[in-house]
Structure 1
Amino acid sequence: MADDFLKNFKIPDYILSPEFKVEKSDESVLVVPECPVLVFVNSKSGGQLGGDLLQTYRTLLNEKQVFDLGENAPDKVLSTIYANLESLKKRGDEFAMKTMEKLRLIVAGGDGTAGWLLGVICDLELSHPPAIATVPLGTGNNLPFAFGWGKKNPGTDQRSVEAFLDQVMKAKEMKIDNWHILMRMRAPKQGSCDPIAPLELPHSLHAFHRVSDTDELNMEGCHTFRGGFWNYFSMGMDAQVSYAFHSERKMNPEKFKNQLVNQKTYAKLGCTQGWFFASLIHPSS
């Protein structure tokens, strides 16, 4: 019974990569899955949960349709797969055409990971953009919660994953607002106002960049920055706390083992960097 259920989600190798070929004798027996999925897991999210979840999905599905975001950039993965689907479609492959129409993505991670995948889908401008189901594997999980996927980190065992797959198959597609933001600041008379780039930005911030001098949005005497977001946008103290949390987790991943500990760490960083605490720790002049 479990094997029959999982057939609803499995994708054959030749759809995932042009390196694989399907024999003519096999084409007639291929049955289009009810809900073909590509799974992207942030293995660093949720403490040890990300790695465990990755392993479970790879055990249950075709391991080639399950990707670790720490090793595979989603834009490259999706570009390759959709280019292959378009090529097969032009050759009259009905299985590929129907798979493209039904394809859904499962993204396991926090709000930043979900925003990253949403940005990739938006940038690729696909002819059939897939719906995205978000597994709440982060600290806040506001985006999954807003769309009914829950807020608590999920189970990683076979039964839990199969239950989530069943939810994905039965889920109703919903729209999400895509917000664009434009920021301008006066150019200094001396020096530069360009930010000092950190060694590695969170992927959810990669969509923000300074426009070129030839861009129509550029205004003389100002530096203009543009970007997009899907869930929420932070500036000032709130953004500082979020980035401090990201940096701390990057340097000391062993300290972020579960959702409750992560939330406590986030709250602690908020207190030590908040305006209400600054006067207590700032040295007197």
Structure 2
Amino acid sequence: MSSAIRNRDAGASAEAAVRAGEEADEVPEAPIVVFVNSHSGGRHGPQLTARLQQLISIEQVFDLSDTQPPHFVQYGLTCLENLADNGDNLARVIRENLRVMVAGGDGTVGWILGSLGELFVQKREPVPPAGIIPLGTGNDLSRSFGWGGSFPFAWKSAVKQSLLKAVSNPVQHLDSWHVTIIMQETEGLELPFSLKHMEEYDLTQDVDIQRELPENISCSEGVFYNYFSIGMDAQVAYGFHHLRNKKPYLAQGPMSNKLIYAGLGCTQGWFFTPCVKTPELRSYPCYAHGL
């Protein structure tokens, strides 16, 4: 599976495994893979990755800087499905019982859940359930499902306990929403990982258009779980994301991250910039009834 992801070729990797006769005799009781956001958790990602590789294996731990969740779905899971179709019982059992752990914050968890959700659309069930190792600043989704609200000080033992919970805990269902964003086309717009561009979209199928649309529009879609925002708080979160990537030495842990959030919140207008002085905040056009 990992070779299929690295080579971006599910078919060739499956065929190579079949030719080599790579099928183990022992079927794993609880197959699991882990995705680690190395930018979260005060830059503890590399240490956490090494610890996870000790506990399970190198082939089962993916750094999101190198492996994106859509590639895992497109190539990794497809490789397992191809092997299962060719009579590989081990691949079939792994695909049917696979569980996923996500080491990151709410944004990382949402990104991976959204990628796994594509399996529903493609009718490639079952969809692997996901557990969380909280590495973010808020970790609201992790708190809601009992995975904890912060990265513990004694993290080495906590990681082992998280893996045990991931393979033994019952599965709980989570509500999700699909969102479609239609906006005026902007050159150089960088979408967050949770959204993807759409080639075309029929604007008349869901909403009642009440004013003329811009000549050039762009459409994107995605899935969200605990919350979705297009307001100033989203601008603050997006600003933090870019600042962390540009100056990683500033994001050393939850406390420093919260201070950065507070500073960005003040400069974006939460306390110091009343809307009365920025009339453009009150004049964004609405193109559909009820929005």
Q: TM-score if structure 2 supplies the norm length? A: 0.77
The residue number in structure 2 matching 1:252 is: 247
**CA–CA distance in structure 2, aligned partners of residues 144 and 175 of structure 1:** 14
Alignment of 1:122-137 (within 5 A): 122-124=117-119, 125=122, 126-137=124-135
Q: Displacement, 1:163?
A: 1.2
Q: Displacement, 1:53?
A: 0.7
Give 1:242's match in structure 2, choosing from 237, 243, 257. Answer: 237
**CA–CA distance in structure 2, aligned partners of residues 12 and 233 of structure 1:** 32
CA displacement, residues 50-89 of structure 1 (integer Å, 9 cap, x when unaligned) = 1111111122222011111001122112322222222221
User: Aligned-pair RMSD on alpha carbons?
Assistant: 3.1
Alignment of 1:37-116 (within 5 A): 37-116=32-111
**CA–CA distance in structure 1, aligned partners of residues 87 and 261 of structure 2:** 52
Distance change (3 Å), C-alpha of 1:20 and 1:61: farther
Determine helix, strand or coil for the equivalent of 2:101: strand
**One-letter code aligned to 2:248:** P
**CA–CA distance in structure 2, aligned partners of residues 35 and 13 of structure 1:** 21
**One-letter code aligned to 2:186:** P
Distance change (3 Å), C-alpha of 1:82 and 1:184: closer
Distance change (3 Å), C-alpha of 1:82 and 1:254: same
**One-letter code aligned to 2:27:** V
Contact 1:37 1:106 in 2 (8 A): yes
The residue number in structure 1 matching 2:174 is: 176
The residue number in structure 2 matching 1:274 is: 269
Determine helix, strand or coil for the equivalent of 1:278: coil
Q: Displacement, 1:268?
A: 1.8
Of all paired residues, the percent bearing the same amino acid is 37
Determine helix, strand or coil for the equivalent of 2:178: strand
Q: Is the counterpart of residue 203 in structure 1 residue 198 in structure 2?
A: no
Determine helix, strand or coil for the equivalent of 1:133: strand
Distance change (3 Å), C-alpha of 1:43 and 1:259: same
**Aligned length, in residue pairs:** 259
**One-letter code aligned to 1:237:** M
Q: Flag structure 1 segments of 5+ consecutive residues without an equivalent.
A: 1-10, 186-192
Q: Flag structure 2 segments of 5+ consecutive residues without an equivalent.
A: 5-9, 279-291
**CA–CA distance in structure 2, aligned partners of residues 157 and 276 of structure 1:** 36
**One-letter code aligned to 1:31:** E
The residue number in structure 1 matching 2:285 is: none
Contact 2:31 2:99 in 1 (8 A): yes
Distance change (3 Å), C-alpha of 1:22 and 1:52: farther
CA displacement, residues 190-243 of structure 1 (integer Å, 9 cap, x when unaligned) = xxx323444x44312x23x46626666486933574533122111221111111
**CA–CA distance in structure 2, aligned partners of residues 276 and 82 of structure 1:** 47
Distance change (3 Å), C-alpha of 1:12 and 1:240: closer
**CA–CA distance in structure 2, aligned partners of residues 67 and 117 of structure 1:** 12
Contact 1:56 1:157 in 2 (8 A): no
Q: Is the counterpart of residue 151 in structure 1 residue 184 in structure 2?
A: no
**One-letter code aligned to 2:185:** D
Determine helix, strand or coil for the equivalent of 2:103: strand
Distance change (3 Å), C-alpha of 1:94 and 1:155: farther
